Amino acid sequence: MSRLELRGISKQYPAVRANDGVNLRVLAGEIHAVLGENGAGKSTLMKIIYGAVEPDDGQMLWNGAPVSVKSPAQARALGISMVYQHFSLFDTLTAAQNVWLGLDKRLSLPEVSARITEVAASYGLDVDVQRPVHTLSVGERQRVEIVRALLSKPQLLILDEPTSVLTPQAVDKLFVTLRTLAAQGCSILYISHKLDEIRALCTQCTVLRGGRVTGQVDPRAESNASLSRLMIGAEPPALRARAATAGETVLQVRRLSLDKPDEFGMALRDIALEVHAGEVVGIAGISGNGQQELMAALSGEDTRAAPGSITLGDTDIARASPRKRRRLGLHFVPEERLGRGAVPTLSLAQNTLLTRTEAVSRLGWIATGRAQRLAEDLIARFHVRAGGARAAAKSLSGGNLQKFIVGREIAAKPTLLIVSQPTWGVDVGSAAQIRGELLALREAGCALLVVSEELDELFELADRLHVMAQGRLSPAVPVAQASVEQMGAWMSGLWDVVPAMARAT
C-alpha cells in the first residue's frame, strides 16, 4: 500500500524552478532515499510534504486519499514528522521545551523530559533536556530534532542528514532502529549525501537533478559511482594520494585549560596540539565534547586563554582578537553557516566583507564594485549556484552557501586555516571539490586544522588525527596507523588504555 504519493509536484521561486513535475511514491514500511546535489530541489520537496511550503501545481495522496497539507501542524496530525537540516528550534527555550511545543499538551513538561531521556538513550543520542538551545552545538541541536520527531511515533519520518552527529557505532544502532520502525510499518524518507549509507539502508532511491526526477533505482544494486552519475552526471574526481611534507610549526597549543564559558558549556583540560605548514591535522569526536570551545579559543572569540598557551608562528595569540589573528594569517570557517559564517539577509558581496579587507580602504570606505567582483570570482571559482553577487546568503542552499564561505577563506591564502565541519550536508560532487581545494591549499604550504564528525572525511584529508572527548584531546595518530574502530572507541575517551607505542605523534 502507498503511504505517500506525489503527482506532478511543481514549485517556482523568482530565480529558480525548485521542483518541476516531480512524481514520488513511498510504500508503507519502506526506507526510501531522495538523492540529489545541492540545489536539486530535495529540501523544497520535503517542505511541501511537511506542509511548510505550498506547491504551485500537483497532487499529494496520503494513504491513498488526496490531501492538501497547509502547515507542519497538519502534517504532524496526519502522522508526518520531519528533521530539518537547518533546524527549527527556539534558541531561548530548553531542549525539553522545544520538544514539548510540538506534542500533545496533555503531557506535562516533566513527563516530556522523561520521555526525551528514555527515547534518546534507546537511540544512542545524548540530549541534555535542560539546556537552552542557544548553548548547544550544531550537532547537539540536530539530536534534539531527531528525538522530537521520534517521540511522535510517525507513520512517515523524513530525515535530512541524520547521521552527521553520530559515531560509527551509533550510526549502526540508528540503522537498526530505523529498520525496526520500517518493519512496524513506518515509512522513512531518507536524505543523505553519504552514498554508502543509502546503499546499506534504503530499498528505493529517487534521484533529483535540477528539480526533476532523473531516475528511481534500488540502491542496493548500484555502486557509489553509478549513483553519483545519476545525481551529478559524472563521478566526483578522486583525491590523489600525496606524501606529507610537513614544515615548520605554525600553530602550537600548550596546556590549554579553560573553565566552562557558561553552565552548559564544556571545560577544556590540558589541550596540547601542533599543526605544521603543509599538513592537515584532523580532530574527530561527537559534537558537544569541547570542539566548539576549542574553536572559540583558537579563532579569538574566546580570549581567556593563558598567555603563551596559543602561538601562531612566533607570536603569542592567546589573548589576541579575531581581527589581529586574521592579519597574522589565521582564517576560520565556523560550523554554523547562517548567523556566524554569513549574515542571512546580506548579499554575498556584502558577506565577503566579514573576513576580507580587499574592498575596504585604509579610511574605512567600502568599494562596493570591488566587493561585488570578489564575490563573483568566488561564485565562479567554487561553482556556487546563486543568483549572482547580490543574492542574499539565505537564498542559497546549504551546500552552496558552504562552498561560498569555505571559498572566501581559502581564497584569502591563509597561513593557517581552521575549518569546522567543512562538508556537512554537502553533496558528493561539492564535497569532493571542497576537499580538493583544501588539499591544494595544504600542498601550497598552508597549515590546516579540520574539525569534523565525518570520519571518512578525516581519513581522506588528514595526515594526523586527534579525537576530542569530554574536553580532552587524545594523542595524535598518523592516519596510516588509525582505524575507524579505534577512533570510534576513542570518542568515549578510551585512549588512555592504548599502549604508549601506539601514541605516535
How many residues appear in the chain? 505
Within 152-247, residue ranges assigned H as helices are 168-183, 195-201, 224-232
**C-alpha cell read off for 111:** 513527563
- Residue 319 near residue 303, CB atoms below 8 Å: yes
Phi/psi at 480 (nearest 5 deg)?
-60, -20
> Whole-model pTM?
0.74
Each residue's pLDDT expressed in tens, for the chain with a length of 505 residues: 899 999 999 999 877 889 999 999 999 999 999 998 877 889 899 999 999 999 999 999 999 999 999 999 899 899 999 887 666 788 889 999 998 987 767 889 999 999 999 888 877 777 889 999 888 876 678 788 888 888 888 999 999 877 765 666 667 877 888 898 899 899 999 998 888 889 999 999 999 988 999 999 999 999 988 888 888 777 766 666 566 677 999 999 999 999 998 887 899 999 999 999 999 999 998 878 999 999 999 999 999 999 999 999 999 999 999 999 999 999 999 988 888 899 999 999 999 999 999 999 988 899 999 999 999 999 999 989 888 999 999 988 778 899 999 999 999 999 999 999 998 777 778 888 899 999 999 999 999 999 998 888 899 999 999 999 999 999 999 999 999 888 888 987 878 754 433 444 4
As beta bridge partners, residue 284 has 467
What domains does the chain contain, in order, with CATH numbers?
2-232 (3.40.50.300), 238-329+414-505 (3.40.50.300)
Q: Give the SS3 label for residue 127.
A: coil
Task: Count CB atoms within 10 A of the CB of residue 195.
Answer: 22
